[in-house]
Amino acid sequence: MPNKKGEIAVKLTVLLMLALELTACSAKNGEPIPVASGASAGPTDDASAAQGAGGGSRKLTVVKETDAPKRSDVAIERIHRFEGAAIDAWLSDDALRVTTTKLEKPGTDTEEAKFSYAAETVDLTNDARKPAKLPETEGDTPALVKETPSPDGKFAFVQQWKDKYTARNFVKNVATGGMTEIPGANYLESGGWVDEGTYLLAAGSMDGRGDILAVKTDGSVSKVKLEDPETELFTTFTASHGRVYYTDQAQNLNTLAYGTASKPTVLVTGVSGFEVAPDGARIAVSTGPGQDGTAARLLLYGADGRQQGSAIGNGDLIPYMSWSADAVKLAFAVYAEDRSGMNGVYLFDAASGTVVPVVPNAFPQYPLSWNPSGTRLGVTASGKGDLPVTEIIDFKNQQTP
């Protein structure tokens, strides 16, 4: 890190104090206000509750400013900064693998800039970086590897992208390190663990939406039936706690029960993105921006499609959101052209019901990334010379008095 730790701590404190003041002012001027859990919550004024396929669920109520929590459980202990690095995967709570980009030759009016790429592991206990060995493909080019652990952590679904179009898929036994390759073409990286023993993969196709494959931990594969002729491709696709979730071209968030249903139910309309909480109880949904000029908003829904409280984020664009593993913290990025609005990376803390800024005015270029225990958050934005720069935020473990 180029700056001294003391200087960074001072600058960080000043930035956070200013950002918190701006957030408080924004709340008074009509921006999203804190929400908190409550059993007697009813529909909100922002939107009527959408009709879903399931039963009731815990809801959120809008908290009046005078009753809002005075303090949050969110506090930053330190920030690690890595120039030229983008996160590939977390290897543990204290270690991750990154791709490092280096400018080899600046671009000219007639030639594009040339870059080199290398994989490294980072030890966050001392910020040491060392070369990492990755699988190789044709031409000795390192493959992009994506690992998605199963809910119990015993297995992982692994994708090795040999180019930007196709991937090799594997099921990995975490205890032994053994890899079972899954045959078949794969053009998308969309999928999720529907239960501890089954990964659902939207494989994609060069012609149409392709098949949904149910991949078992023993390597066996079967197709999942989906009766939805109107959906030609999956804009976003995942699976969680026995259900399939996807968005279609009409910006509908659809769901169906795995193994018992083949026709989907529309949960929410006007959806631009969504993220299911690890416990399956909540879904973070981004909507807009609308053609009528309405802002993009970040809302919370229950698994049954009922809206919980009012918007927790508001701006021109909400490109990324990510739940911590314990489903308590939701990190999200907001961009607003109005510089007095929400800009940067924020955190919704379900324990206190508050939204706080953690990296003011940051505009991530990659998805936000939590370590396995949810104590660290990775944010990758653009640095000098358009090279990526990654900041790893360590959160303090403190309780609200």
Q: What b/e readout covers 277-286, taking b as 16+ CB neighbours within 10 angstroms?
A: bbeeebbbbb
Which residue from 355, 350, 309 is spatially nearest to 334, judged by alpha carbons?
A: 355
Instruction: Identify the pLDDT of residue 166.
Output: 76
- Band (369; pLDDT cuts 50, 70, 90): very high
pLDDT at 139 exceeding the cut of 70? no
pLDDT at 304 exceeding the cut of 80? yes
Instruction: Identify the pLDDT of residue 136.
Output: 54
104-113, 248-257, 391-400: least confident range: 391-400
* Residues 219-228 pLDDT 10s: 999 999 999 9
What is the rounded distance in angstroms from the CA atom of residue 323 to the CA atom of residue 357?
16
Kindly state the average pLDDT of the residues 308-315. Answer: 92
Kindly state the average pLDDT of the residues 142-147. Answer: 72
Which residue from 238, 311, 237 is spatially nearest to 278, judged by alpha carbons?
A: 238
Cβ atoms of 120 and 40 closer than 8 Å: no
- Band (65; pLDDT cuts 50, 70, 90): very low
37-46, 81-90, 350-359, 364-373: least confident range: 37-46
Phi/psi of residue 361, nearest 5 degrees: 65, 20
Instruction: Identify the pLDDT of residue 391.
Output: 97
The residues with which 145 forms a beta bridge, in sequence order, are: 160
Instruction: Identify the pLDDT of residue 56.
Output: 37
Q: What is the DSSP string of 227-294?
A: --TT-SS-SEEEEETTEEEEE-TT--EEEEETTT--S-EEEESSEEEEEE-TTSSEEEEEE---TTSP
Instruction: Identify the pLDDT of residue 386.
Output: 83
Q: Degrees (nearest 5) of the Cα angle 164, 184, 197?
A: 100
Burial (0-12, 13-18, 19+ Cβ within 10 Å), 19: buried
* Residues 74-97 pLDDT 10s: 789 999 999 999 998 899 999 999
pLDDT at 383 exceeding the cut of 90? no
Instruction: Identify the pLDDT of residue 399.
Output: 52
What average pLDDT does the structure give for the chain?
80
Kindly state the average pLDDT of the residues 291-320. Answer: 89
- Model pTM score: 0.75
Composition of the chain by helix, strand, coil, percent to 5: 10, 45, 50
